[in-house]
Amino acid sequence: MVRERVTFGPARLFIGGQWVDGGAPIPVRDKYTGEVIGEVPEARREDVDAAVAAAQEGAKAMAALPAWRRAEILLRAAGMIRERKEEFARLIAAEAGKALKWARAEVERAIWTFTIAAEEARRIEGEVIPLDAVPAGEGYFGFYVRRPVGVVAAISPFNFPLNLVAHKVAPALAAGNAVVLKPASATPLTAVLLARVLEAAGVPAGGFNLIFGPGGTVGEWLAAHPGVGKVSFTGSRAVGERLTRVVGIKKLTLELGNTTPVIVAEDVQDLDWVARRLAVGAFYNSGQVCISVQRIYGVRRIFEPLVETFSRAASEMVVGDPLDERVDVGPLIDEREAMRVEGWIQEALGGGAQAVTGGRREGPVVWPTVLIRVRPEMRVVREEVFGPVASVLEADDFEEAIAAANATEYGLQVAVFTRDINRVLRAVQGLDFGGIIINDTPSFRADHMPYGGVKGSGLGREGLRYAIEEMTNVHMVVIRPAP
């Protein structure tokens, strides 16, 4: 196969409807070849100030647009993304290292994210409050309305450079806010392409602004800026905890990590199908997904056949160049991360674990790895791997599996495979996670459902309507008839 080179060229900051120069260039590399495919300028502090100031003006224009106009803009954006679907997908495959089949799926999801956001823009509702429910409210009339917060700071990760950006930008615009987006420095080019789409779709000047730079400087300047009314961040728990200390008094949504567990009950009938679903959930995007399958608890009676079928499904995944149509698993975001994941695997093996398949690394590529004989205190179990590594652990029974799944500081999503409705009910009542998926991989996410975690997995919820609630303020109105 002759590899078609993906290039993008230099980009600029997008502030107040204008493409402007910034500071030092940040090179962006093809994650498989290491070749530089583009560059973006690092924002200086004055650029962050300018972006927020432009967004404050843009917020006025966005709030003044009627709902149908905001919906129209979002639908135009969705249509333009669809027209450029292959361009977006190939760019994602190159700059994120995501296999082309999954990159195309991400673009399709982003189209739906903008489309559903347009629908939600038309139905941002308030509520009548029966004030006469208490004696003091007799004769009063009350209701509340939702109004935009103003400026939303969106800080997005590298692993979904289009759809996780869309999950912040689309609901913010739907609600009548302006946005300042800082994408991950490893994958900023997709955001540049999206900015061009939003500009062409008719977002008012200042309604969408784009800056670049490291999270520890540019991201924190943006999050802490007094002109920002809401911060939406997706990334690591460590950075999320730091943001809670720097954002000040403003609304905050944190979408953080997970050590995603799966429980496979003894009553499952098609173990091959379960194994194939788990392999996709564990290894797509090279495991760089916050709801990627990491801990699989198999009840004793089916443990050995589960290990056999899952490891076979993992070994059948095609590894290589993400721009190759046949490939399932591409590189990690950089070789340093691949070396870290390899180190965690070796640490587990040194502690008595066994690799049933995988454990191999070449440059930034790590082969899908299935571990058994791991212990709860090992990092591959206790901490978020964020790589193509899944461990299969044995549980005496279903109740023990629930307890083991809950034994974590995280609580984003969990999956249970069972045909027994009583087990389903026990799982729903007993598992402490923001999302409980029955009979599919825990990496399932429909883009309009409420999505978010408990415990160390974050604050607030995404998912269009739920994100709009986070990106608006409630304004209560009380009317007393004049005498």
Amino acid present at 343: G
Contact 190, 162 (CB under 8 A): yes
| Rounded Cα–Cα distance for residues 120 and 171 (Å) | 8
How many CA within 13 A on the CB side of residue 471? 34
Residue carrying the six token digits 């994408």 = 183
Is the Cβ–Cβ distance between 295 and 383 less than 8 Å?
no
**What region does 35 belong to: left with phi over 0, alpha with psi -120 to 50, or beta?**
beta
Is position 138 annotated as part of the catalytic site? no
- 236 and 410 Cβ atoms separated by less than 8 Å: no
Residue 239's alpha-carbon distances to 155, 190, 243, 293, 434, in angstroms, are: 11, 23, 6, 22, 20
Name the β-bridge partners of 54.
none
To the query of whether residue 290 is one of the catalytic residues in this protein, the response is yes
Which among 456, 55, 455, 72 is positioned nearest to 231, based on CA atoms?
55
Helices (H), 65-179: 67-83, 85-96, 100-121, 163-174
d(CA 120, CA 468): 8
Instruction: Please identify which residue in the block is written with the tokens 């674990």.
Output: 353
Q: Which of 39, 95, 120, 290 is catalytic?
A: 290
Dist CA 225 CA 248 (whole Å)? 9
Report the chain's terminal Cα–Cα distance, integer Å: 83
Continuous segment of H or E residues that includes residue 185: none
Residue among 255, 337, 394, 462 flagged as catalytic? 255
* Tokens of residue 303, six digits: 């443990």
CA–CA dist 175, 172 (Å, integer): 5
Catalytic residues: 255, 290
